[in-house]
Amino acid sequence: MNSVSPSAAQYIGGVMQDELMENRRQQPMERQGSFGLRLPQTPDPSREAAGEPDEMDKLKAKLMSAWNNVKYGWTVKSKTSFNKISPVTVLGHSYLLNSEDEVERFRLAFVSRVWLTYRREFPQLEGSTWTTDCGWGCMLRSGQMLLAQGLLVHLMPRDWAWPDAQQLTDVDFEVFRPRSPARAGGVPIPSFGSPRGSNTPEKSLPSDQVAKCSQKKRPECARDRQAEPVHHKLVTWFGDQPPAPFGVHQLVEIGKSSGKKAGDWYGPSVVAHILRKAVAKTAVVHNLAVYVAQDCTVYKEDVLHLCDLSLSQTPPDPSSQAWKSVIILVPVRLGGEALNPSYIECVKNILKLECCIGIIGGKPKHSLYFIGFQDEQLLYLDPHYCQPVVDVTQVNFSLESFHCTSPKKMPFNRMDPSCTIGFYAKNKKDFESLCSAVSVALSSSKEKYPIFTFVEGQSQDYGLEGHSSNHSGSAAHILPPGKLGRSNNRRNSDEFVFL
């Protein structure tokens, strides 16, 4: 049994100590080509001083880009099976797929999530020769999806669904009854509706039921349609152009302060801090802050000082909102070399919460964005599909490549133990409810130590002077009393290889 206390992680300057160890351990490998061939290096001092890649770096980047574009530029279509007896949970909502109405709700909930994947042929990343993140940027893409979900909850109407999902072609999954005499009992789910321009009549439901469902959904559809300009604007923020505040260009630039560069491997905790800095840096999102937990601990007083605007205004501005909404990101490790099975029930209970916006992590060598589960399998969005870049500066650019129609699942026991869990609270009351609900979910673990904890007070009260979620001090920090003895059991929190 891999019993490891995740609360023993230590941060230095906003980056986990063991991540820095991993960076040093990986440095000798960085000059090895993706085909396993070691490329000779003849560094040019003048280029190194200017931060420019030399000729061998350019050749290496071109070879890797060409190989990864081929490797991830196509996909095998296969239907994922869901059973109609157990509920499917998606970010706090459950769907029992024993009726067409429930299947429709599940499809809309899944397809409405923003899907961000590898892209190719985008403007060159500054200081490199990369024009694609294919083969190395999957954790950045998973982090983008986590942030995008937080922004959807922050900006869109409650339970918003993308109205144009109805016009997509078939969704690749099927529903069957477990332990049926023959697997032929699995019946493919009908499509969302007729493809654009098709004259094929809908055959999903009898006409009277179609009318009934349409009447029930019409007010919601009108509200969702009115929110489409916001949906469009949100996607532009993740565009693959340098000015986009949450695009890969900006995230790579911010990552340099954590010792990362284009082409490097990113871990879930480093990405959490990159997302925090990206939101703090931009002015496009109003009334939102990002808090990253330290030592697997959420310090409530630190969140209060980050979100309560009255504490930072002298004198207070009565016209401003008193509380910022907050995205809380908690980097954790759920075991040693493999996922500790004792944490599975706890992860399920977290994904059942409406305040949860998902988990970024994956399976070994493969970053994923987890949004739900059914039985003993996780439901996820996969960034490992290389698509052409979309010019999001064009009016009415197509959103279709930013929404996935293929739900995928994987067993819990294949989940890498290193991950970052995300939550969202709109106001102070929601934050208090979040603390209570998440604490109950955490208590469901059979392990002695919870995945993470909420504590009263500020981080400085526990010996973490000079460092909080929105600062990046460079000094080492002392853990709260009682936690030091568990730190030796801690393994590297970001042992991912994304090729």
Task: State both tokens at 164.
Answer: 């144009």
**CA 207 from centre of chain:** 40
| Structure confidence at residue 473 (pLDDT) | 36
Nearest CA to 10 out of 484, 495, 417, 497 is that of 484
Which of 57, 133, 295, 382 is the catalytic position? 382
Which residues does residue 215 pair with via DSSP β-bridges, in sequence order? none
Q: How far apart are CA 50 and CA 455, in angstroms?
A: 45
Q: How far apart are CA 230 and CA 64, in angstroms?
A: 36
CB 154 within 8 A of CB 288: yes
Q: Is 384 a catalytic residue?
A: yes
CB 255 within 8 A of CB 274: yes
Q: Is 240 a catalytic residue?
A: no
Which of 57, 133, 134, 138 is the catalytic position? 138
The full DSSP string for 22-82 is HHHHHGGGTTB-TTSPBPP----HHHHHHT---HHHHHHHHHHHHHHHHHHS-----PEEE
Q: Is 138 a catalytic residue?
A: yes
Our CA angle for 36, 383, 372, nearest 5°, is: 130
Which of 384, 403, 467, 477 is the catalytic position? 384
| Structure confidence at residue 164 (pLDDT) | 87
Beta strands in 74-232 (DSSP E): 80-83, 88-90, 93-95, 119-120, 173-176, 187-188
pLDDT tens digits for the chain (499 residues)?
444 443 333 333 333 334 444 444 444 333 333 333 333 444 454 444 445 556 666 666 566 655 565 555 555 556 789 999 999 999 999 999 999 899 989 999 999 999 999 999 999 999 899 999 998 999 999 999 999 999 999 999 988 999 888 776 556 678 877 654 434 334 444 433 333 333 333 333 343 443 333 334 434 578 888 999 999 999 999 999 999 999 999 999 999 998 999 999 899 999 999 999 999 999 999 999 999 999 899 999 999 999 998 876 555 555 556 899 999 999 999 988 899 999 999 999 999 999 999 999 988 778 999 999 999 999 999 999 999 999 999 988 999 999 998 899 999 999 999 999 999 999 999 999 999 999 999 998 877 788 999 999 898 877 665 444 454 433 333 333 334 333 333 344 444 433 3
CB 211 within 8 A of CB 119: no
* 3-state class (DSSP) for residue 95: strand
* 3-state class (DSSP) for residue 84: coil
- C-alpha atoms less than 13 angstroms from C-alpha of 194 in its C-beta half-sphere: 8
